[in-house]
Structures are given as C-alpha cells and as structure tokens.
Structure 1
Amino acid sequence: MTATLTPPAVVQLADGDRLSIELPRFRGGVIAHDFTVVTTEGLARRRGDDPSVWVERARHLGHELHGAFNEGVTITAHQQEVVARTEVALGQTVELEGVTYTIAAAPNHNIQFVPVVDTEEEV
C-alpha cells in the first residue's frame, strides 16, 4: 500500500501577520526564525495613503509588492507578551492579497514569496 501525501493547505496571510518558520543552519539542523509579513498596500493603508498609487509606483520602480522581515532576537530582563504566530514551512503555499505564492529560502536566513505560476493550459 502506498501512502498518499496531501499537499499542505493554502495559508491565508495579510500585512502585519507574524510567521514562525524553521530554516536550515549552516552547521546542520534547523533553527526557528520569526518574520513579519509586509505588503505595499498594507503600508499605504497604515499611512492613510491610496494603496493603488503606492502599488503603481512600486511596480514602476521594479520593487516587490510583498515581503517578510526577520524579527531577530532581543534578550530582556522583564516578562514579554506572548505573540501569536502562524507556523509555516519552506515550500508551503500561501495566499497574500489574492496572489498565490510559495515560501522559499532567501540569503542570510530570510524568506521570500515566489509567485505560483499556473501551468495548466486552457483548451
């Protein structure tokens, strides 16, 4: 009997969502990293600007419209509030502002959103 693997469900993400993902270490094994999702539209909304203007300008300049910032680590002497995070994995499919992406590793222990291209041809 052959086991059938079901593809992971598409995770819905939005600007400001916090992610936790395990990335490979240089010396083997994996280590968890935390990221915050950012979008051009979300940043424009937070600043009270017209998102369509920001998106048009970003596209004109050749910028990505979505990204994730590595949050790093801070050691403190006082209790910190627990932050809810969505656990994701490399290769997982996510949807962000109506576009489907795959999470891929990027240099320096970062991640990137790679657009999923529909390879089905219409007949």
Structure 2
Amino acid sequence: MKRVKQCTCAAFFMVLSFSVLAHPHSFISLRTEVVADNGQLTGFKMRWTMDEITSSDLLYDAGSAKPGDEVWKKLAAEVMANVLGQHYFSELWHNGQHVKFDNRPDGYGLEPRRTPGGADLYSAAG
C-alpha cells in the first residue's frame, strides 16, 4: 500500500511539473516598407516593435550599454535568429508559389527606446 501511495504522489508531481514547461510569448508590431528598383520588387525594410515585457527583458540584459555597443549587437543577433526561424513573421506569394526571403538581411540592429513600446528590431530583408 505504501508503494501505491508513493507512485501516486510521484505521478501527481510529474503532472504538476508539466506546467513549468510553459513560457511566455512575445508580441510584436510589424511595419513593412516595400523596396523596389525600376518597378521591380527587390526586398522589404521591416521594423518590429517588441511588447513591453520583451522590451524590458532586452533593456535589462543590455544594462547600461549605450546604443551601438557590442551587447546591443549580440542581443540583436539573438532576436534576429528567432525572427529568421519564423520567416520574418511574414509570407509572400507570387503566382501561387511561396517566396522564400534571404536567410540573413544585409543590415539589422536593435534600437533601444526607453518609452512605452520598448525596443525595436529593424531589418532589411531581401
């Protein structure tokens, strides 16, 4: 009987531990500008504004680093890796075919804003 109680308790705590696996999600506002050359679509310029929780986390990680410091470049690379994993949070279709964007944009960065809305990630996606 004692063994049954131990197994029941172990199973109960294992079920409780599944809730620990949950994690918060980030919310972003996306602004996209079309880039064209001689009337031909060549890419997009995108700006993601992170929600307050994500922004606070980034600002905390950056500490007192000034914009352009190495820590901001590292944080931008981490955020961009997530953005790339989600295909820039965007889809483009042409003639019924899904268009894949370049893997890494030519220029991107993370711009701190200590105002409501927090931090922006900006990028040029081809």
* Shared fold (TM-score, shorter chain, > 0.5): no
Higher strand share: 1
* TM-score class, shorter: under 0.3
Higher helix share: 2
Q: TM-score when scaled to structure 1? A: 0.26
- Structure ID, larger Rg: 2
